[in-house]
Amino acid sequence: MARPGNKIIQAKLVLLGDMGTGKTSLVLRFVKGQFFENQEPTIGAAFFTQILSLAEATVKFDIWDTAGQERYHSLAPMYYRGAAAAVVVFDIASKDTFIRAKKWVEELQRQGNSNLVMALVANKSDLEPSREVDTEEGEEYAQENGMFYIETSAKTAENINDLFYEIAKRLAKACPSKPSTMNLNNEVQRRRKLFCCFG
């Protein structure tokens, strides 16, 4: 939990990506340490919370895991509105899901705030033999678009914690300590909706 004098960051995080890329599995692995081979498809969205404690800050994540099917995209703005971080997921064994991921990135760049911390996640790294998207290709695209790139496997748990720790670190960096004390006046509360820090 929060260390004394440590700042607390409340951050909304949204997961976007094509259906079956493993968004829910990523979150479940991170939040509960669980993995199910046949994870039920998410309808609308599912909500999770998790707290990460870093040396520089304690990050409280409000995680919105969204439905992947294309027609559900019309609901997405409701979920990414006010997000501090976005995780765009694709499946390394499906080129189509990478193309869809790029579309999400484009939409977020237009819609999200300019401080949005974005991660491009190549999930299902355990499916190496059927890989369709090369690491270089993903890395290059991420770099061009100011995101960080990471290859994960919700199944084996590879890099799952690293992904969320990296996001937490970036959020902490983007949210420097303020000398002001915890003063929950209206101004701060309004800002809270985006993401806030108070130290």
Question: Which among 172, 170, 165 has a CA at the least distance from the CA of 199?
Answer: 172
Q: Which is nearer to other proteins, 49 or 180 (CB)?
A: 49
Stretch that binds other proteins, among 51-59, 76-84, 138-146, 165-173 (CB under 8 A): 76-84
**Alpha carbon of residue 32 to chain centroid:** 16
Q: Which of 55, 71, 182, 183 binds other proteins (CB under 8 A)?
A: 71
Q: Does 140 bind other proteins (CB under 8 A)?
A: no
CB of 84 to other proteins, least distance (A): 14
Q: Which is nearer to other proteins, 97 or 153 (CB)?
A: 97
CB of 191 to other proteins, least distance (A): 12
Q: Which of 3, 32, 34, 75 binds other proteins (CB under 8 A)?
A: 75
Encoded tokens for 29: 């692995």
Site residues (CB under 8 A) for other proteins, limited to 13-42:
19-20, 36, 38-41
Q: Which is nearer to other proteins, 49 or 181 (CB)?
A: 49
DSSP string, the chain: -PPTT-EEEEEEEEEEE-TTSSHHHHHHHHHH----TTPPPPSSEEEEEEEEE-SSEEEEEEEEEE--SGGGGGGHHHHHTT-SEEEEEEETT-HHHHHHHHHHHHHHHHHS-TT-EEEEEEE-GGGGGG--S-HHHHHHHHHHTT-EEEE-BTTTTBTHHHHHHHHHHHHHHHS---SS-----HHHHHHHTTEEEE-
CB of 193 to other proteins, least distance (A): 5
Q: Does 77 bind other proteins (CB under 8 A)?
A: yes
Binding site for other proteins (CB under 8 A): 19-20, 36, 38-41, 43-45, 47, 49, 62, 64, 67-69, 71-72, 74-75, 77-79, 82, 103, 106-107, 110, 193
